[in-house]
Structure 1
């Protein structure tokens, strides 16, 4: 009986011990054509063991790389892909460059700083005021994340003035756009809303007249005794 402790190291557990033994047998074949033919057979068998990876890009390329990896890069066969080496296959990836951003106000974050810079560049006073109110609201949310007590608006205004050097001020009153009935009515009529409203009113008026006429006709028939359903008298 053969125990795992007496066997050699299993390089890739995904393919199992039998695939590794087949590849070790390929190393003992001296005829190059026979070794090449058997290598293709082992590649097909390795693909059957992982059918869920057939749709993965470069699937067969990875199989050939695994074949050379299991053989410890000693297998002498021709591959349809570039033959990997120990240095290229096990090379360490380059470290990812992380963005080096140092926010001026760490407790508020970098995103709020970008919004403040955009608000300071805004020339429209209405949009600028909307930016200031949104920034103050976000500052309140950030404050409640780190403090249990509620923050007063004066503290938010003081900090916002310090950050923007007094260029932004927020208001507690909601912004409501001024309503101009004459201009709005003219704009709506130009877009066709006036015609639609007139047609709708005419439709409802015509329907009301038809309903009144129907009721008057029924009343006249009842007065003349010409009702469709006459009351039957029983003797």
Structure 2
């Protein structure tokens, strides 16, 4: 009995031993054209055994790279793609560049930076001041949600100055309260709820009167029968 531990180590276990044996057989062929034809057949077989790879971009290129790895970087065939080297595959990926908003201000989110840039581009006037106030109010809400504690307006103003690199004028904002849009929306909603409740109460009153009248008529009819 032959155990797997006694067999040749698989370079890519996810493809199984059958494909590994086919690759080893391909390497033993003397004629280069035959090797290339068999390599193409192995690529098709690898794609059938791993259909999930077809959903990825350039999956054919990836299969050829895997074939070369299965061959232990030693395969002389005609390939539509250049084979990778050991050094290229061993190279560590480059460090990703993180967004600008990091450190102490990461909880404000990238959208705040975009709004700040938009406010900086606006000409001085009511629209710009209103946008700055909206930005500051949203910053205060984000701060309270992230830090679970109350924050003073002075802290928000200081953060906004730092994020805008002192390009925004905050002198016209005295204090931060609930957004006017948010406040007016809630007022409208409350007013609508009150009016609906009043309407329902008014609609129920005629029904009560009608019910009381019916009871009175029933009593008088009973008395007449007696």
- TM score, norm. by length of structure 2: 0.57
Provide the secondary structure at the position in 1 that maps to 2:81: coil
Residues in 2 aligned to 1:95 and 1:107: alpha-carbon distance in whole angstroms: 19
The match for 1:88 is 88
The match for 1:169 is 173
132 and 18 in structure 1: CA distance in 2 versus 1, 3 angstrom threshold:
closer
143 and 83 in structure 1: CA distance in 2 versus 1, 3 angstrom threshold:
closer
Provide the secondary structure at the position in 1 that maps to 2:95: coil
73 and 128 in structure 1: CA distance in 2 versus 1, 3 angstrom threshold:
closer
| Greater helix proportion | 2
Residues in 2 aligned to 1:56 and 1:110: alpha-carbon distance in whole angstroms: 31
The match for 1:126 is 126
Which shifted more, 49-58 or 68-77?
49-58
Residues in 2 aligned to 1:32 and 1:108: alpha-carbon distance in whole angstroms: 60
Provide the secondary structure at the position in 2 that maps to 1:72: coil
Shift of 1:16: 0.6
113 and 76 in structure 1: CA distance in 2 versus 1, 3 angstrom threshold:
closer
**Alpha-carbon contact 2:136-2:157 (below 8 Å) kept:** no
167 and 57 in structure 1: CA distance in 2 versus 1, 3 angstrom threshold:
same
Shift of 1:72: 0.4
Residues in 1 aligned to 2:10 and 2:56: alpha-carbon distance in whole angstroms: 25
Q: Where do residues 110-149 of structure 1 align in structure 2 (5 Å cutoff)?
A: 112=112, 115=115, 119=119, 122-145=122-145, 146-148=147-149
Residues in 1 aligned to 2:157 and 2:60: alpha-carbon distance in whole angstroms: 63
CA RMSD of aligned residues (A): 3.6
Residues in 2 aligned to 1:63 and 1:108: alpha-carbon distance in whole angstroms: 42
167 and 117 in structure 1: CA distance in 2 versus 1, 3 angstrom threshold:
farther
Q: Deviations over 1:149-180 (max 9, x none)?
A: x66xxx42x446665775231575948xxxxx
Q: How many residues align?
A: 169
Provide the secondary structure at the position in 2 that maps to 1:167: coil
**Alpha-carbon contact 1:32-1:77 (below 8 Å) kept:** yes
Provide the secondary structure at the position in 1 that maps to 2:20: helix
The match for 1:216 is none
Q: Deviations over 1:68-97 (max 9, x none)?
A: 110101122222322332223333222223
**Alpha-carbon contact 2:23-2:71 (below 8 Å) kept:** yes
- Where in structure 2 are there 5+ consecutive unaligned residues? 162-167, 182-226
43 and 125 in structure 1: CA distance in 2 versus 1, 3 angstrom threshold:
closer
Provide the secondary structure at the position in 2 that maps to 1:54: helix
The match for 2:31 is 31
**Alpha-carbon contact 2:119-2:132 (below 8 Å) kept:** yes
- TM score, norm. by length of structure 1: 0.55
Residues in 2 aligned to 1:38 and 1:113: alpha-carbon distance in whole angstroms: 56
**Alpha-carbon contact 1:43-1:64 (below 8 Å) kept:** yes
Q: Deviations over 1:21-55 (max 9, x none)?
A: 11112222223333333223222222221234335
**Alpha-carbon contact 1:160-1:168 (below 8 Å) kept:** no
